[in-house]
Amino acid sequence: MIIGSHRCKTAFYHIGILDILSNFLKEYSSTIHIDLLIEIFDCLSSFAKSTNSNIFTRLIELDFLEQLLNFLTFEIDSNAYYESCLRCLRSFYLPKHRTNILLTDQNQYEQNQAKENFFSDENSSCLVNHLFENAQILDIFSRLLTRSKSIQITILEILSSICVNNQRQNQIVDKDFLQIVFKIFIENISSKSSLARIYNFKNEYLVGICLKFFCSISYENQSIAQQLHTTVSTEFNQTFCEILSNLLKKSTQPMYISYYAAKLFVNLCKTKVLSSDHLSVSQDALTTLIHLCSKIYSNEYINLYIQSFHVLIYFLNGNCTLHHSAVYTELFLNRLFDLILLPRKILSEKFHDELVTEIRAAAMTLLAILSSYHEDIKKRIGEHDSKTNE
């Protein structure tokens, strides 16, 4: 009844169902009734996704997070049990408006991050700290990664969401997750041609979440970015960067794979592991981001579309080398002007005014950065101003 229903969640919360569920968990922690525990985990997972801050606060007060971490320490011969428990744990860390973490990026330079979670930065930090304070949890994650692809996805989603600063990034890397996740990444791609290096994906979502993990773990962290740069795949006899470049050359793949592959090169460039004139940076990554910003996507991908603008702004700002090496197509420039002057002409009516305003603001910021380096773009802005005034 509560899954997908804000009204039912609120109603059951008011009659004290969370306290009852807490008592159930304490009762079944000794008897380990797997089927009932899975039902409770799934129920709690739905409550944790609620946008009602009172519900979320009560979940924390009742120590559900601690109980979930405790249940992960049990040796149970059931993938379904661990999958359900981990999905529930993940719900505490996911942005409240989005259940698919691949479609919501969370790095600090993205202006819409403040909207990602309704709870305060202090509460967010407490959630992350709580997980790291449990000395066993990263080791448990490492052990569980071998059980199933579903478990791999869920753990990587959690890890991606807790890379909140260099300290936390380094703690994760110290547990060898960089090598473990790279192995998972390689296992889920295959090459159709040893010459062209055209890749197939055995599990697209898992490849995407591996890329997001690499982006989160290397964001503004030079030592980790350097480790990624020197990583080599013995299966493909290629460096990680060569594999990423080949991914960006493939046009028929999910948007999120192109986005995170390009963003990884942005991280490597921003940490000065790769120079701005490196071909993978100045051509592959930059061209991909411009292409992503030139298209219009369905409602499902709108957040990544907005974040593509933010990444491109972050990438180009203050970097004259990239500006001079980039080719700004008519389609791209016209798209920026349309988004600024006539956003509703090209954006779906389904998009809320808040999203339209955010896209328009991102387009204006990007155009301002471009015009500071390109006189012809500055002239075009003047021409559009004249036409608007007329």
Domains, the chain, in order of start with CATH, read: 93-389 (1.25.10)
What pLDDT shows up at residue 115? 39
91-146 residue pLDDT tens? 998 876 555 777 777 665 544 443 344 445 556 778 899 899 988 999 999 999 99
Written in H, E and C, the secondary structure of the chain is CCCCCHHHHHHHHHCCHHHHHHHHHHHHHHHCCHHHHHHHHHHHHHHHCCCCHHHHHHHHHCCHHHHHHHHHCCCCCCHHHHHHHHHHHHHCCCCCCCCCHHHCCCCCCCHHHHHCCCCCHHHHHHHHHHHHHCCCHHHHHHHHCCCCHHHHHHHHHHHHHCCCCHHHHHHHHHCCHHHHHHHHHHHCEEECCCCCCCEEECCHHHHHHHHHHHHHHHCCCHHHHHHHHHCEECCCCEEHHHHHHHHHHCCCCCHHHHHHHHHHHHHHHHCCCCCCCCHHHHHHHHHHHHHHHHCCCCHHHHHHHHHHHHHHHHHHCCCHHHHHHCCCCHHHHHHHHHHHHCHHHHCCCCCCHHHHHHHHHHHHHHHHHHHCCCHHHHHHHHHHHHHHHC
Low-confidence ranges of the chain (pLDDT < 70): 96-99, 106-123, 191-198, 297-298, 326-327, 350, 383-390
7-17 residue pLDDT tens? 999 999 999 99
What pLDDT shows up at residue 224? 97
What pLDDT shows up at residue 214? 97
What pLDDT shows up at residue 135? 83
